[in-house]
Structure 1
Amino acid sequence: MPRPSTPLLSGTRIREVALDIIDRDGLDGLSMRKLAAELGVRAASLYGHVATKDDLLHEIANEVLERVDVTGFASGDWRQGLVSAARSYRAALAAHPNIVPFLAYGPARRDSSLQRLDVVHGALVTAGWSRREATMIAAGLMYIVFGAALSTFSSGFSTDPSVYSGRYPHLDRAHLLPAVAAELDHDSFELTLAAYVRGL
């Protein structure tokens, strides 16, 4: 049988298909055996491109985090830098919510995370914050972003009005929240982000 003109495997293709599996089946749904099957190869073939599943997850995480935009700090306005970085971070996580728990463990040795954190930290220190304060501010921003990415407040309510009626007088319209969850979650994120930056 002749060799295919295009190789079946490449690092890029492996990461793309693995992320598709994570998006569809969750983190626990990704296995090297399943990934190999979807790529049409044997599992052993993958190990020429990636040593372990954990290494593969770090590579995927690195690519997801490359979408986080920290160019807003270049203007010298650290407030605008924080806001634009947080918005793009949330958007990157929202595109692939199933990998968020893996990303939430911190920057680890991921180059994309560390490069962006370096920009944030440097901009804050240049603006006059101490190194400790800059670390705390970056950590606080991550709490806001990951909190928004890991959960939806508005979707967590029942659409059955009888759950709230007569028992929780101040939640008499809570059954309407799931229908506008995306809008409310977005606005809640923006409110929290604005309050955080204003408070700083």
Structure 2
Amino acid sequence: MARPRTPLLNRELIRETTLRLIDTHGLAAVSMRKIAAELGVRAPSLYSHYANKDELLDDIGDTIAERVDVTGFGTDDWQSALRTWARSYRAALAEHPNMVPFLASSPGNRPGALDAADAIHGGLTRAGWPPRTATLIGASVKYIVVGSAVASFAGGFLDDLDTYNERYPHLSQAHRLRENAAEIDAESFELVLESFLRGLDLQYAAHAPDTESAKRRTEAG
């Protein structure tokens, strides 16, 4: 029996093809028709696997979310859990920057995003944070990560020395930022993350006075 000229369709193949197209052309440029053309099939063939593009994107979002590590929220070390979550979240977004607008939106009905949100909120409240504050912490980390992933601050500067020399004397080294953008952006992310965590640690004793961390701070004071 002759082998088919095009691979048999399945959800994994459709996801991988769609994500490759999004990485190359951007989210808005990808349609079910273009995905089908890339796979060498007609668009109706996709609908036996996904009801519409939104359902396909939800599935891709859950696949990417699997790379985000929230396992630390099953322990008592809420700071390490937040740190690991934020770093893995940023790394997942960095792999697919064109998916950031979609992944940065609310969880909706995506099981992966809701599972992560549940783990994060549960871990923070078990650690002693009030539910409302736990919600604010989760949102704040998301703002930090998404803000870091949306665009490169350092990469936004021109590498033309003459642009800055005369008119912007305090930016005389700005022409060097672009070539070191990855390093600067990564260090900037770490700076704001660690500053945020230190600020939370200062509030923690007031929120959870019975924890070991609070006791140590009381004794140290």
Say yes or no: TM over 0.5: yes
**Larger displacement relative to structure 2 (69-78 or 81-90):** 69-78
Please report how far the alpha carbon of residue 163 of structure 1 lies from its aligned counterpart in structure 2 after TM superposition.
1.4
- Distance in structure 1 (CA, Å) of the matches to 2:2 and 2:95: 39
Q: Deviations over 1:134-154 (max 9, x none)?
A: 000000000000001101000
Please report how far the alpha carbon of residue 161 of structure 1 lies from its aligned counterpart in structure 2 after TM superposition.
1.2
Gaps of 5+ in 1: none
Identity across matched positions, percent: 55
- Determine whether 1:148 maps to 2:148: yes
RMSD: 1.6
Q: Deviations over 1:161-194 (max 9, x none)?
A: 1111122221110011001000000000000100
Structure-2 residue corresponding to 1:14: 14
The TM-score with structure 2 as length reference comes to 0.87
- 94 and 179 in structure 1: CA distance in 2 versus 1, 3 angstrom threshold: same
Supply the AA of the counterpart residue of 1:139.
A
Structure-2 residue corresponding to 1:100: 100
Please report how far the alpha carbon of residue 106 of structure 1 lies from its aligned counterpart in structure 2 after TM superposition.
1.6
Structure-1 residue corresponding to 2:83: 83
Please report how far the alpha carbon of residue 5 of structure 1 lies from its aligned counterpart in structure 2 after TM superposition.
11
Structure-2 residue corresponding to 1:194: 194
Structure-1 residue corresponding to 2:29: 29
Q: Helix, strand or coil for the counterpart of 2:167?
A: coil
Structure-1 residue corresponding to 2:63: 63
Supply the AA of the counterpart residue of 1:123.
G
Paired positions, count: 200
Q: Deviations over 1:34-90 (max 9, x none)?
A: 111111111111110001111111111111111100112233100000000000000
Q: Helix, strand or coil for the counterpart of 2:165?
A: coil
- Distance in structure 2 (CA, Å) of the matches to 1:7 and 1:165: 57
Q: Deviations over 1:3-52 (max 9, x none)?
A: 74996100111111000100111102211111111111111111100011
Gaps of 5+ in 2: 201-221
CA contact (8 A) 1:8 1:39 kept: no
1:126-137 map, 5 Å: 126-137=126-137
Supply the AA of the counterpart residue of 2:40.
G
The TM-score with structure 1 as length reference comes to 0.96
Please report how far the alpha carbon of residue 2 of structure 1 lies from its aligned counterpart in structure 2 after TM superposition.
5.3
- Distance in structure 2 (CA, Å) of the matches to 1:195 and 1:188: 11
